[in-house]
Amino acid sequence: MNLDTETIDSNDLAQFDLSEFVRRVLAEDMGSGGDVTSRATIDPDARFTATMNCREPIVVAGIDIAIAFFLTLDREVRISAAVADGDRVETGTVLITLKGNARAMLAAERSALNTLQHLSGIATLTRTYVDAIAGTGAILLDTRKTIPGLRLLEKYAARMGGAENHRMRMDDGLLIKDNHVGVAGSVEAAVRAAVAADTGLQIQVEVDRIAQIEPALEAGANRLLLDNMSNEQLRAAVGLVAGRVPLEASGGVRLDTIRGIAETGVTYISVGRITQSAPAVDIGLDYSLT
């Protein structure tokens, strides 16, 4: 990893400014005075060997980002990553081995762990949802329900768990929701206005009643979001649309209900909780003197 570049050179995080993220997170944790405890108790030349390992089964996301914290504070640190993002690993698996300056490693530890635990938590929860709909043909989507400022990372973690990304930002596509419909007057009026705007973007419209489907399609919708519909309604919508546009089920989807939703024949299922409510996983860093 080259921290002299402004972004990660990867299709997965092509627009992510890694150096700026690392600087911002370390500044938040270290303040203006740095790690005063380590400076007071540890010789400046002391060295540590450390292993980062998982203490529960997880899906990994954020390995290179975690490593970047250590590299920023000790350019000579020796690092070996034993896993890659997207890997599913068992309890006790060593993720990273590090050998470097003790003060620097201790200063970077919490920022690295916080990031890796959070992103791997999202990837791990996402994978449980993906596994629950395996074989149905339905595709899991994330949403824009992310922690402000962390969207690129959280949506990356969702991909590592096996989901696909919905809109990254509001300018990625037109998504006409119930409030837009309310102001426009009807689903048909909202879609026709979006078509007339000629943005060149896909037009998706949220419908919560079967009766809204044909007006939306006739007006020019490219995709439908079926909001809070029962499985019976979803099956009826799938039959009515008959493959003319992709269908996305959304609203209150849980792990215990997603399989039944997938079996209705919808193309996509969006789940906000995979980014909004994913718990951090348990990852630790164990040191030994070298």
Mean pLDDT along residues 106-128: 98
Domain co-membership, 24 together with 89 = yes
Band (pLDDT 50/70/90 cuts) for residue 289 is: confident
Domain containing residue 229: CATH number = 3.20.20.70
Domain co-membership, 104 together with 168 = no
What pLDDT is stored for residue 9 in this prediction? 40
Q: Is 99 noted as a catalytic residue in this protein?
A: no
Mean pLDDT along residues 152-170: 95
Phi, psi of 264, deg, nearest 5: -75, -15
Domain co-membership, 243 together with 285 = no
What pLDDT is stored for residue 2 in this prediction? 40
What pLDDT is stored for residue 8 in this prediction? 40
Mean pLDDT along residues 161-178: 94
Catalytic position from the list 12, 87, 88, 110: 110
What pLDDT is stored for residue 290 in this prediction? 62
Domain co-membership, 112 together with 30 = yes
User: Within 10 Å of residue 14's Cβ, how many Cβ atoms?
Assistant: 10
What pLDDT is stored for residue 229 in this prediction? 97
Question: Where does 10-138 show beta strands of DSSP type E?
Answer: 47-54, 58-59, 78-81, 88-89, 94-101
User: Within 10 Å of residue 146's Cβ, how many Cβ atoms?
Assistant: 20
Domain co-membership, 88 together with 68 = yes
Domain co-membership, 284 together with 263 = no
Cα distances (angstroms) measured from residue 50 to each of 32, 77, 101, 167, 223: 26, 11, 11, 39, 50
259: domain range?
A: 164-270
Give the number of domains in the chain. Answer: 2
Q: Is 177 noted as a catalytic residue in this protein?
A: yes
- pLDDT tens string 121-131: 999 999 999 99
- What are the beta bridge partners of residue 100? 48
Q: What is d(CA 199, CA 142) in angstroms, rounded to the nearest whole number? A: 24
Q: How many CA atoms lie within 13 A of 68 on its CB side?
A: 24
Tokens of residue 240, six digits? 């009515």
Q: Please report whether residue 89 resides in a domain.
A: yes
Catalytic position from the list 177, 209, 244, 254: 177
Q: What is d(CA 283, CA 150) in angstroms, rounded to the nearest whole number? A: 20
Q: Please report whether residue 169 resides in a domain.
A: yes
Q: Is 110 noted as a catalytic residue in this protein?
A: yes
Catalytic position from the list 88, 145, 151, 273: 145
Q: Please report whether residue 141 resides in a domain.
A: no
Domain co-membership, 209 together with 228 = yes
282 has pLDDT over 90: yes
Domain containing residue 62: CATH number = 3.90.1170.20
Domain co-membership, 204 together with 245 = yes
Q: Please report whether residue 146 resides in a domain.
A: no
Domain co-membership, 215 together with 169 = yes
Mean pLDDT along residues 19-43: 95
Q: Please report whether residue 134 resides in a domain.
A: no
Q: Please report whether residue 45 resides in a domain.
A: yes
Catalytic position from the list 85, 142, 206, 248: 206
Domain co-membership, 184 together with 243 = yes
Domain co-membership, 249 together with 185 = yes
Q: Please report whether residue 3 resides in a domain.
A: no
- pLDDT tens string 212-227: 999 999 999 999 999 9
Mean pLDDT along residues 262-280: 97
Domain co-membership, 285 together with 230 = no
Tokens of residue 98, six digits? 């590090």
Q: Please report whether residue 94 resides in a domain.
A: yes
What share of the chain in percent tops pLDDT 90? Answer: 92
What pLDDT is stored for residue 211 in this prediction? 97
**Which residues touch 145 (CB under 8 Å, ≥6 apart)?**
272, 273, 275, 276
206 has pLDDT over 50: yes
Catalytic position from the list 35, 109, 227, 248: 227
What share of the chain in percent tops pLDDT 70? Answer: 96
- What are the beta bridge partners of residue 267? none
| Cα-only R_g, the chain | 23
The rounded Cα 154 to chain-centroid distance in angstroms is 3
CB 184 within 8 A of CB 190: yes
